[in-house]
Structure 1
Amino acid sequence: MERMVGTVVRGLRAPIIREGDDLESIVVDTVLKASEAEGFKLHDKDVVAITEAVVARAQGNYATTEQLALDVKTKLGGETIGVIFPILSRNRFAICLRGIAKGAKKVVLMLSYPSDEVGNHLIDIDKLDEKGIDPYTDVLTQEQFETLFGQSKHTFTGMDYVNYYKGLIEEEGAEAEVIFSNNPRTILSYTKRVLTCDIHTRARTKRLLKEAGGEIILGMDDLLTSSVEGSGYNTNYGILGSNKSTETTIKLFPNDCTTFVNGIQKKLLEATGKIIEVMVYGDGAFKDPVGKIWELADPVVSPGYTSGLEGTPNELKLKYLADNDFAHLSGEELKKAISECIKKKDNDLKESMLSQGTTPRRLTDLIGSLCDLTSGSGDKGTPIVYIQGYFDNYTK
């Protein structure tokens, strides 16, 4: 019978992962047991993906707010520091802010508006128009902001992040001042020592601040890049990609993910004879059209993957072929013509009209987004995702 199913994605249930667990063996065992229990065969070019959260947990990659505070104090001097462009998140940034505030006497918190970098809105942009405020040039104090717009409420959570963050700073014993600006140079009127907390624009922000006369300019990727009094760390990303673990503990982005995925691929090859691709994934890269939130709060979608996941898709647009090259055909003739076109396609279709409308993104970003949507971030209990048929096409 003709094959009727293309890509299949399965969330695999695994044990609760603890620090020190042999996660490579757990992943392999979970895949093999799932295959047996559900009756699906493993194939070359299948993909197994593991959420970064359990990788970091198995590695024990944690730090306390006290350890973060020590690093902040050592690197930024422990007096008045500017903390600019953080995202609005209780899980992602609030726990980091506690550690940052512990390491300073005063924090000048500068928030971008109307939204943060990943789309969490402080206010609706239409309200800026109503009040005649230009977010590209106008700098507002907290008093001015709340006089104009009232206290901010997050679209989904109802959180007033402005006062929540201010309160966290004060709880940790530091003085807090909140301002609103989208120009990074604004902060230099308050302090020359700055921690820029944006994720994807951090390199540009650092450059602008240094060129404008900043004395010490760091990003979140410059904190906890090595162990501080026994803490976890991340050499490449510091505290970017971290999450709240407890009220005083931060779970960092995992280390050595390439070694980890290659180890799993080798074990699966030994167990099955199949070359299965492996990746670690964090946030997917997609935008919610209602809340306007861009999901990607991690520095990358995948911090580690096997070599077979390099590159971008090289696909033909079937709709374009059907409507143009083969508009005169139908039924089996159309199917045969398109199948032959796929079999003969070039290895690089980037500039071809035949590929227009296909997604020009890296494979790891696409697959990671698929995995993030499959596993979710709640109580599904499926930190491992198994994908089949992703690299197949209409002819397979």
Structure 2
Amino acid sequence: MERVVGTVVRGLRCPIINQGDSIEQIVVDSVLKAAEVEGFAFQDKDIVTLTESIVARAQGNYATVDHIAADVKAKFGDDTIGVIFPILSRNRFSICLSGIAKGAKKIVLMLSYPSDEVGNHLVDIDELDVKGINPWTDVLTEDQFRKHFGYNKHTFTGVDYIEYYRSIIEENGVECEIIFSNNPKTILDYTKSVLTCDIHTRTRTKKILNANGAEKVYNLDAILSAPVNGSGYNEQYGLLGSNKSTEDSIKLFPRDCQPIVDSIQAKLKEITGKTIEVMVYGDGAFKDPVGKIWELADPVVSPAFTAGLNGTPNEVKLKYLADNNFANLRGEELQKAVAEYINNKQEDLVGAMEAQGTTPRRLTDLIGSLSDLTSGSGDKGTPIVFIQGYFDNYTK
């Protein structure tokens, strides 16, 4: 019978993961059990993805406010610290900010506007036009910002992040000054010691500061890049990718993930005889059209993946072929022509008209986004995702 289904994505339930659990065995057992219960067979190029959260939980990769504070104090001493470009998030940054404040004597908090780098807005961009404010050149104090724009709560969370972040800092007994600017150099008018909290632009920000007279500059990935008093850590990303765990602790981005995905792949190969690709995923990479939030608050979509997930798709656009190359064909003749074209397509279609409109993103970013949307961020309870048919095309 002709196959009529392409890609199939299943969110798989598994036990709640705790520190010390064998994440590899739990994933393998969960996938095998799902296949048994749901009655699906394994194929080469199937994909198993697992959230970074359950990997970090199994590793026990946690840290407290005191751990963060100790590292900040060791790096900055009694300096006034410029904390610049943090994202606006209770989950992602509130506990980090509390730890930073606890390790400081004074903080100058510099917020980008109208939004942070992942799209959380302090004010609607149209309001800037109304007030004649240029976010690329104008520096605003907190009073000036309030005078122009008043008090605005986040679309989804209902939080006034200016007020919220000030309260976190002051609750730690630390003096706080808040300014608004999109130019990293602005902070150097207030202090030469800077902690840059942006995620995807952090290398550029640090370079600009170092070139313009900064004396101490650390990215957020330098905080807890090594253990502090027995804390968790991430040598590559530090606090980046961390999430709130409790009111005084965070779960860090997992470390040493490559051996985990390779081990899961090897175990599944031994049992099923199939080469199944495996990846760890965090946030997907997509933008919400209502809240304007770009989802990716992790430093990468995938910190580790097996070799078969390297690269980008190499696909042609079916409607382009049907409307152009084979516009004179219909029915079975058209199907055969399209199938033959696909079977004989170039190995690299970059720049080819037949590929226009396809998505030349990395496979791991596409599959990570698919997985993130499948597992969700709430109570679905499916931190493992099993994907079949992703690499199939019209001819399969």
Which bin holds the TM-score, normalised by the shorter protein?
Answer: over 0.9
Q: Distance in 1 between matches of 2:381 and 2:78?
A: 41
What secondary structure sits across from 1:179 in the alignment? strand
Q: Distance in 1 between matches of 2:395 and 2:118?
A: 39
Shift of 1:351: 2.0
Deviations 1:31-69 (A, max 9, x none): 000000000001110000000000000000001110111
Shift of 1:178: 0.5
Counterpart of 1:363 in structure 2 is: 363
2:184–2:205 CA contact under 8 A, matched in 1:
yes
1:152–1:162 CA contact under 8 A, matched in 2:
no
**Given residue 260 of structure 1, which amino acid in structure 2 is its aligned partner?**
I
Counterpart of 2:329 in structure 1 is: 329
Shift of 1:354: 1.1
Shift of 1:376: 0.2
Q: Distance in 2 between matches of 1:231 and 1:129?
A: 46
Shift of 1:216: 0.5
Deviations 1:185-241 (A, max 9, x none): 000011000000000000000000000100001110111111011000001101000
For residues 108-119 of structure 1, the aligned pairs below 5 Å read 108-119=108-119
Q: Distance in 1 between matches of 2:76 and 2:317?
A: 52
Counterpart of 2:275 in structure 1 is: 275
Deviations 1:358-392 (A, max 9, x none): 00100000000000000000000000000000000
Counterpart of 1:68 in structure 2 is: 68
**Given residue 276 of structure 1, which amino acid in structure 2 is its aligned partner?**
I
What secondary structure sits across from 2:48 in the alignment? strand
1:268–1:274 CA contact under 8 A, matched in 2:
yes
**Given residue 329 of structure 2, which amino acid in structure 1 is its aligned partner?**
L
Shift of 1:297: 0.2
Shift of 1:9: 0.2
2:48–2:277 CA contact under 8 A, matched in 1:
yes
Counterpart of 1:105 in structure 2 is: 105
**Given residue 273 of structure 1, which amino acid in structure 2 is its aligned partner?**
G
**Given residue 249 of structure 2, which amino acid in structure 1 is its aligned partner?**
T
Q: Percent identity?
A: 72
Deviations 1:131-150 (A, max 9, x none): 11111111111111011111
What secondary structure sits across from 2:195 in the alignment? strand
Q: Distance in 2 between matches of 1:184 and 1:100?
A: 19
Shift of 1:158: 1.3
Deviations 1:311-340 (A, max 9, x none): 000011111100000000010000000000
Counterpart of 1:181 in structure 2 is: 181
Counterpart of 1:349 in structure 2 is: 349
**Given residue 327 of structure 1, which amino acid in structure 2 is its aligned partner?**
A
Q: Distance in 2 between matches of 1:76 and 1:368?
A: 36
What secondary structure sits across from 1:324 in the alignment? helix
2:68–2:100 CA contact under 8 A, matched in 1:
yes
Structure 1, unpaired ranges of 5+: none
**Given residue 322 of structure 2, which amino acid in structure 1 is its aligned partner?**
A
What secondary structure sits across from 1:9 in the alignment? strand
For residues 197-236 of structure 1, the aligned pairs below 5 Å read 197-236=197-236
Q: What is the root-mean-square deviation of aligned Cα atoms in Å?
A: 0.6
Q: Distance in 2 between matches of 1:341 and 1:195?
A: 54
Counterpart of 1:165 in structure 2 is: 165
Counterpart of 1:249 in structure 2 is: 249
Q: Distance in 2 between matches of 1:256 and 1:47?
A: 20
What secondary structure sits across from 1:58 in the alignment? helix
2:193–2:217 CA contact under 8 A, matched in 1:
yes
1:233–1:252 CA contact under 8 A, matched in 2:
yes
**Given residue 228 of structure 1, which amino acid in structure 2 is its aligned partner?**
V
Q: Distance in 1 between matches of 2:130 and 2:248?
A: 41
**Given residue 357 of structure 1, which amino acid in structure 2 is its aligned partner?**
G
**Given residue 205 of structure 2, which amino acid in structure 1 is its aligned partner?**
T
What secondary structure sits across from 2:254 in the alignment? coil
2:79–2:193 CA contact under 8 A, matched in 1:
no
1:72–1:78 CA contact under 8 A, matched in 2:
no
Shift of 1:78: 3.3
Shift of 1:173: 1.7
Q: Distance in 1 between matches of 2:52 and 2:327?
A: 46
**Given residue 152 of structure 2, which amino acid in structure 1 is its aligned partner?**
S
**Given residue 142 of structure 1, which amino acid in structure 2 is its aligned partner?**
E
Deviations 1:57-87 (A, max 9, x none): 0000001110111101111223310000000
Shift of 1:172: 1.3
Counterpart of 1:6 in structure 2 is: 6
1:118–1:295 CA contact under 8 A, matched in 2:
yes
Q: Distance in 2 between matches of 1:183 and 1:351?
A: 36
**Given residue 67 of structure 1, which amino acid in structure 2 is its aligned partner?**
H
Q: Distance in 1 between matches of 2:29 and 2:305?
A: 19
**Given residue 3 of structure 2, which amino acid in structure 1 is its aligned partner?**
R
Q: Distance in 2 between matches of 1:26 and 1:157?
A: 34
Structure 1 ranges of 4+ moved more than 6 A: none
Q: Distance in 2 between matches of 1:259 and 1:172?
A: 40
**Given residue 100 of structure 2, which amino acid in structure 1 is its aligned partner?**
I
What secondary structure sits across from 2:325 in the alignment? coil
Q: Distance in 2 between matches of 1:67 and 1:339?
A: 59
Q: Distance in 2 between matches of 1:319 and 1:257?
A: 40
